[in-house]
Chain A
Amino acid sequence: AQKITQTQPGMFVQEKEAVTLDCTYDTSDPSYGLFWYKQPSSGEMIFLIYQGSYDQQNATEGRYSLNFQKARKSANLVISASQLGDSAMYFCAMREGGKTSYDKVIFGPGTSLSVIP
C-alpha cells in the first residue's frame, strides 16, 4: 500500500495567489515526521518544511505552511503569494519512528506546480 499519496500530478496557480498541494499518509506508528521538499528543474532537492506528529501547532516557514490534520492523516502544503520561482516538483515525505529518528524517508510521487504570470 502507498505510504504517501499525492493525488495531484499537476497544478496551476496564478502568480500572487495561494495554492494548496495535497498529501495523505499511512502509518500505524504514533511517532512520525512529515516533510515537504521542492525540486526545481535544475534537479536539486530543497527542504521546505517539517511537521512532527506530536507538534501542537501547524508548521510555518515564510510563505510555506503545513495544514496538518492528524485524524485525517493529511499534511497539505500551502504556498501563499505564489511566485514564478515556485514552479517546480513538490514532494511530500514521511519518516516513521521516534527513537530511531534517522530512519529512511519515504517520498510521495510528487506534484508538479506551474505558476502562471
Chain B
Amino acid sequence: NAGVMQNPRHLVRRRGQEARLRCSPMKGHSHVYWYRQLPEEGLKFMVYLQKENIIDESGMPKERFSAEFPKEGPSILRIQQVVRGDSAAYFCASSSGLAGGSYEQYFGPGTRLTVT
C-alpha cells in the first residue's frame, strides 16, 4: 500500500487518558500535515511538519496537544488528558516537498477519536 497510512482507524479513550495517533506518509514524502474535523464541520489545519522539524503549528491548541515527525518512524499526534471536546476525526496528509513538486496533499483515511 503506497498511500498515507494512519492507525488506529478508531480510538476510544476515557477522559484524562492520552491518545496517540500515528501517520506514515506516502513513500518518498517528507512533509506531513495534521488536520482535525469536528462533527458536521470541515477540516481545520493543526500542524505542518518535516522530518525532525515543526514548520507551522499555528492550528494546534496551546495545551495538551503535541506533534512530532522523527527521523525514523511515523509522525505522531499526541493528545494528553483528553476531554470530550477532543472527539473528532484526525486526518494526516503528506506531500513530496520537492522543489517544483506536487502541490497535492494526499490524505490518509483518518483516525476517529471518541472520548467517553
Minimum CB distance partner of B89 in chain A: A43
A95 to B31, CA, bound (A): 15
Cβ–Cβ contact B109 & A44, under 8 A? yes
- Chain A residues lying within 8 Å of B59, measured Cβ to Cβ, are 104
Question: A110, B42: Cβ atoms under 8 Å?
Answer: yes
Which one of A33, A37, A104 lies within 8 Å of B103 (CB-CB)? Answer: A33
Range, interface on chain B: 20 to 34
Interface contact B97-A102, CB-CB below 8 Å: yes
**B65 touches A (CB below 8 Å):** no
A104 to B59, CA, bound (A): 10
> Which residues of A lie under 8 Å from residue B45 when comparing CB positions?
104-106
Number of interface residues of A (CB under 8 A): 23
The answer to whether B91 and A45 touch across the interface, beta carbons within 8 angstroms, is: yes
The answer to whether A109 and B103 touch (CB under 8 A), given A43-B112, A102-B95, A104-B56, is: no
Residues of B within 8 A of A101 (CB): 103
Shortest distance in angstroms between B68's beta carbon and chain A's nearest beta carbon? Answer: 18
In the bound complex, how far is the Cα of B40 from the Cα of A35, in angstroms? 20
Contacts of B110 in A (CB 8 A): 43-45
Minimal beta-carbon separation of A28 from chain B (angstroms) = 18
Interface set, chain A 50-75, CB cutoff 8 A to B: 50, 52
CB-CB < 8 A to A47: which residues of B? 104-107
Interface CB pairs A-B, < 8 A, 25 = A33-B103, A35-B104, A43-B112, A44-B109, A44-B110, A45-B43, A45-B93, A45-B110, A47-B105, A47-B106, A47-B107, A52-B103, A91-B43, A93-B43, A95-B103, A101-B103, A102-B48, A102-B95, A103-B48, A104-B59, A106-B45, A107-B35, A107-B42, A110-B41, A110-B42
